[in-house]
Amino acid sequence: MKESPEDAEVPVPPPRDCLKCVMDSYGAPAPSGDSFNPMKFFLQPQVILRLVGILCAIIVFGTIADGVYDNGVCAIYNDGDDHVCEYGIGIGVIGFLACLAFLVIDFLFVRQSSAEMRKYMVLADLAFSGLWALMWFIGFCYLTDRWRNTNTSFRRFTSHVKNNAQAAIAFSFFSVVVWVAIAVFAVLRFRKGQGEAFDDSTGTAADPSYSSFPGQPDLSESYQQPPFTGERSEAPQYQPPVY
Q: What is the pLDDT of residues 152-170, one digit of tens each?
A: 555 566 777 788 888 999 9
Mean pLDDT of 28-35: 57
The answer to pTM > 0.95 is no
Residue 10 burial (CB count, 10 A)? 12
Which of 84, 203, 195, 191 has its CA nearest to residue 147? 84
Q: What are phi and psi of 183, to 5 degrees?
A: -65, -40
Report pLDDT for 101: 96
Residue 212 is given by DSSP the state: S
Mean pLDDT, the chain, rounded, equals 75
CA dist 149 to 82, 158, 170, Å?
14, 18, 17
H-assigned helices in the chain: 38-42, 45-67, 82-109, 115-148, 159-202
Report pLDDT for 51: 97
Mean pLDDT of 120-137: 95
**Residue 116: pLDDT band with limits 50, 70, 90:** confident
Residue 103 is given by DSSP the state: H
Determine the Cα–Cα distance for residues 47 and 189; give it in Å rounded to an integer: 14
Are 151 and 57 a contacting pair, CB within 8 Å?
no
Mean pLDDT of 98-117: 88
Report pLDDT for 66: 80
